[in-house]
A and B are shown apart, each in its own frame.
Chain A
C-alpha cells in the first residue's frame, strides 16, 4: 500500500539554524500538507499546497516557514531560523482530492 514517507525521523538543531524537513507524498496525490504536534498538544495545521502554490496557511506559518515542491516527488518544509518553540513533531500529509489526508510517520524536531 502506498505511504507517505518523511526524512529524517529525528532532527536536533541549534536555535537560529535552518532546517529542511522532507516528505515524499503518495505518488498520484495532488494536495500536500504540513501539520505539527507540540509535545502534549493538539495536532495543528500549518499549510496546504496545491498546483505548486500555497492554498492555505495558518497563523503559525509565518515568514520563517516556507514550503517547496522541488521536483515531482518531494515536498519540503523549511524553517529559516529555528526557535525553541519550533520543537515539535512535524507531519506531512497528502491527498488525492483534498480529503481524506494520509499522514507520514513524522519528523521529531528538537531545537536546543
Chain B
C-alpha cells in the first residue's frame, strides 16, 4: 500500500535559522506531491505542489521543496524561519494510478524559538 513517512515528529529551530522537513513516499510511480500546513485549530493550507517539470518548486510564505525521484523524497525547506511558521506540516502524496485520493504523512510539528 502507498505510504508517506515524515520521520521527524517534532523539530525545534531558532528564529532566523534554516529549516528542512523530510518526507519520503513508498511507491515508485509518478506521484503528485504536496505540503500542507496546519496551525492550531485551523484547516490544512496548501503550501506548494509538484506535478511534473522542474523538481524544485516554490510555494507560499517563502517555502520551497525539492523532488528527488531517486530517493523518493520531497523535502520542504525554508532559508530563514519566522516565529509565525510554528505549526504542523503535512506531506501528502497522490498517485495517478490510485485516483485522486491523497495519502498523508503523520505530520511534523515545528517549534520556533526566539
Contact = CB atoms under 8 A, between A and B. Distances in A.
Contacts of A106: 43
A7 B5 CA distance: 31
Interface residues of B, number: 22
B100 A95 contact: yes
Contacts of A48: 99-101
Could you tell me the dominant secondary structure of chain A's interface residues? strand
A65 interface: no
Contact of A42 (B46, B99, B100, B107): B107
B42 interface: yes
Contacts of B105: 42
Interface string A1-13: 0001010000000
A43 B44 contact: yes
B46 A99 contact: no
Interface residues of A, number: 25
Interface in B76-114: 90, 92, 94, 99-107
B104 A42 contact: yes
A56 to B, nearest CB: 5
Interface of A: 4, 6, 31, 33, 35, 41-45, 48, 55-56, 58, 91, 95, 98-106
